[in-house]
Amino acid sequence: MDRIVLEGLEFHGYHGVFEEESKMGARFVVDVELRLSLPERDSLRQTVDYSQVYELVRGEVTEKRYKLIEALAAKIARALLASEPRVEGVTVRVHKPHAPLPGVVRDVYVEVHRERA
């Protein structure tokens, strides 16, 4: 399988289990890896338009609220498989670099893998 990767998509969102997170929000970073057979022809119609992938991810992160980044990542993965018929599998990483933890932590992230059924 070939891959298309969008790495480091940054958004301000309101995800988390704590009340403060729903009010103040935080920065979230999303990586998406799409697995598919890439075309030999130079035609956008035969591949994935990653501007549409970006908009799908942006909508999930900025327009909805999830308590868990696990749920956010799974929703993005399912939505990508539903909207992109050429994609056979997807990996989504949702990073929460400023997770409310009692120490210094560079990053917390969840990674989900989904395949077309």
**Annotated catalytic sites, by residue?**
96
C-alpha dihedral (60, 66, 71, 73), degrees to nearest 10: 40
* All residues at 6 or more sequence positions from 22 whose CB lies less than 8 Å from its CB, including other chains: 14, 16, 65
Q: Under a CB-based contact definition with an 8 Å cutoff, are residues 11 and 25 in contact? A: no
- In this structure, what DSSP letter does residue 38 have? P
* All residues at 6 or more sequence positions from 38 whose CB lies less than 8 Å from its CB, including other chains: 2, 4, 47
